[in-house]
Structure 1
């Protein structure tokens, strides 16, 4: 199947509608019926301002977060339309990919929903 890999970048301390932004994005993906979302934390990174974001032993609020989704073209369009409606400021990468599942059990699980 062809589609897109979409990666959103944020920090642990960013909130939206009372939730950590990363959690809100994963919940939104679920609400929209997307096939899945993975949230990962990073140790360190910097953004367009050059400011360093990192996870410290005592303070994780500035820890970098990524949310990754493998989406069809239609799913990607629905997600980005919704994000535009939310008027959220969020950096992302969107790149074309091929994705699918391997093995009889994986195909059976996909068919069963």
Structure 2
């Protein structure tokens, strides 16, 4: 199947409707019936402002997180429409891909 890999990047401390934004993105993908999403925590990263974000032993709030989805073009449009409805500003990467399952 042809579609897109959507990758969203944020920090653990960023909230939306009382939830960490990464978790909110997972819940919205599920609510829209998308095929799956993965939340990954990183140890360090920096954003467009050049600010270093990292996970420290005592403070995980600044920890970078990434949410990745493999979706059809139609599902990508629905997901971005949902983000627009919420007026969310979040950095993303949208890459054309082929995806599917191996085996029978």
* Short-chain TM bin: over 0.9
Q: CA deviation at 1:89?
A: 1.0
CA distance in 1 between counterparts of 2:85 and 2:19 reads 18
Spell out the pairing of 1:1-113 with structure 2 (5 A cutoff): 1-104=1-104
Q: Which runs of 5+ in 2 are unaligned?
A: none
What TM-score, normalized to structure 2? 0.99
What TM-score, normalized to structure 1? 0.91
Q: Which runs of 5+ in 1 are unaligned?
A: 105-113
Greater radius of gyration (CA): 1
CA distance in 2 between counterparts of 1:13 and 1:34 reads 25
